[in-house]
Amino acid sequence: MNLLARTPSRFLPVIATFVVFVLTFGAGAIRYDGFGTPQIFANLFIDNSFLIVVAVGMTFVILTGGIDLSVGSVVALSTMIAAATLRAGWPAWLAMVAVLATGALLGLGMGTMIHRFGVQPFIATLAGMFLARGLCFVISVESVSIKENTFRDIAIATVELGEVTITYSVLIAVAVVVVAAYVLHLTRFGRTVYAIGGSETSATLMGLRTGRVKVGVYVISGLCSSLGGLLFSFYMLSGYSLHAVGMELDAIAAVVVGGTLLAGGLGYVLGSVVGVLVLGTVQTLISFDGSLSPWWTKIVIGVLLLVFIALQQLIVRRRPPRRPPAPALP
């Protein structure tokens, strides 16, 4: 108890999320034979690598106090662009570049609307969600299979780590997490992200480039969404207009359960990763049981969200009030 009392309040949500993950995974290992194996743990990353990448981008946005509702639609659009360009005979590397460029461009557009024109993030990204989903149906109403050899080789390739087998998508997701953690904690851009979430007015008065960073986090979110779409294409080997419906809610849930404050200014990428693992563990538990409806996943996630939002409110109340910046001397 003394150790918990001495723990800084900003770490409590991440610790709580990690405890929930350990308890949930441990309960599965006790209840079901074969659940606690290293390969099942690795499968959490294999089956959710695309969501980890999307959640990383969402973490940047929520840390500034914003929101991005377009990520699921951008994932779907990325699968459609990849499938359509590969079917048209494009090289795999060029199709991937087109996907990533599209996501970054959409993020730039939404970030510009938010910063330059004062549009609320909810409205700007809602427009982006409809735009990206509509473009999916413009490309094709039907599912488009990916048969290009290089793309399929990457999708099915595996890496042996002792007794555990993972895919290249997992390695990409881990690399994204490492780079994101470095940017957030060891660069001026990352410090500005936290400063904007704490108080954008104060950050501006301190001389930080808040406008450029606000636009930048939506570019990062769009880029992560398109990269997540590529990983989802590897996972499904198809492009479909109805892929990733509701994934934006899963990403937001993972980030919030991972301890990032919806008001911004507090949170960690690692917490978002653990949040994704919690969601993945719940889904795996339900699949192992076999008698429960998949909708129980949504119910459990809803309960976890309520609990962690309540925990966030307690943490916010414990934090000392921010002092306004001192007025400039004449």
Helices (H) and strands (E) in the chain, counts: 14, 4
Distance CA 270, CA 273 (A): 5
Exposure string over 290-306, b if 16+ CB within 10 A, otherwise e: eeeeeeebeebbeebee
For position 36, what pLDDT does the model report? 87
How high is the pLDDT of residue 177?
Answer: 98
Tokens encoding 296:
């129980």
Domains and CATH numbers, the chain: 8-318 (1.10.3470)
Q: Which two tokens stand for residue 37?
A: 């194996």
| Structure confidence at residue 317 (pLDDT) | 65
| Sequential pLDDT tens for the chain (330 residues) | 555 556 666 777 788 889 999 999 999 999 888 898 999 999 999 999 999 999 999 999 999 999 999 999 999 999 999 999 999 999 999 999 999 999 999 999 999 999 999 999 999 999 999 999 999 999 999 999 999 999 999 999 999 988 899 999 999 999 999 999 999 999 999 999 999 998 888 888 888 899 999 999 999 999 999 999 999 999 999 999 999 998 999 999 999 999 898 888 889 999 999 999 999 999 899 888 777 777 777 888 888 888 888 877 776 666 555 544 444 443
CB atoms under 10 Å from CB of 89, counted, come to: 8
pTM of the complete model: 0.92
The SS3 call for residue 144 is strand
| pLDDT reported for residue 325 | 45
pLDDT, residue 157, reads 94
Measured CA to CA, the distance from residue 88 to residue 95 in angstroms comes to 10
